[in-house]
Structures are given as structure tokens and as C-alpha cells.
Amino acid sequence: MTGPDQPATRWDDQWEDQPAGTADEPVSITAYPNGPLLVRGPFEILTPTGEVIPPRRRTVALCRCGVSTLKPFCDGSHKAIGFTTEQEPPEPQPPLGS
């Protein structure tokens, strides 16, 4: 958790930047156990009014616990509140169109 003297950091700061991908590359969203949703690939995050929120990285962590101070991004606060994902993830499904 960050204090008033420390800048908030995003949970996805732990990953190195990756080179830009192509539009043909698939986007994937992974529900991280007891944590955020990891989004990988070429994507845009938009505000409700349609403005682009710069992702800074090709892999970002989106908050799903609701307490991040950097929404929509995860800042690691889920650990401090003991956020848990109680349900098992659904079984993998075949890709659409297969």
C-alpha cells in the first residue's frame, strides 16, 4: 500500500513494456486469482464519454476489487483488503468461431 509520501504505483508496473503488437494479435483478459484482470494485446480503454485512457503498457491490470486509487487500473490495494475471488474460474471455452 502506498502512503502519502509515496506515489501510487500500478500493479502492472511489475511487467516490462513490450513492443507494440499488431491489430491482428488477439486481446486476452485473464482473471488473476484474488486480484485484477490482466489485459494483454492491442486494446483501448475508454472513459464513459469515449476518451482514450492511455494504458502506458501492452499488459495492464484492471481493478476488480473496487478500492484502487488509480481506477480503472489496479494499484495493489486488493492485497491490503484481502480481496478474494471465491469462485473457481469457469472451464476454458473454445475460441469464438471455431
Binding interface with ligand FES (CB under 6 A): 11, 35-36, 63-65, 67-68, 74-78
Strand segments (E) across 1-98:
28-31, 37-40, 45-46, 52-53, 59-62
Q: Alpha-carbon distance 57 to 42, whole Å?
A: 10
Closest to ligand FES by CB, 1 vs 25, is 1
Q: Alpha-carbon distance 25 to 54, whole Å?
A: 19
Closest to ligand FES by CB, 35 vs 59, is 35
Based on C-alpha coordinates, what's the Rg of the chain? 15
Closest to ligand FES by CB, 25 vs 67, is 67
Q: Least separation, in Å, of the C-beta of 85 and ligand FES?
A: 10
Q: Least separation, in Å, of the C-beta of 35 and ligand FES?
A: 5
Q: Least separation, in Å, of the C-beta of 13 and ligand FES?
A: 12
Question: What are the helix (H) ranges across the chain?
Answer: 77-81
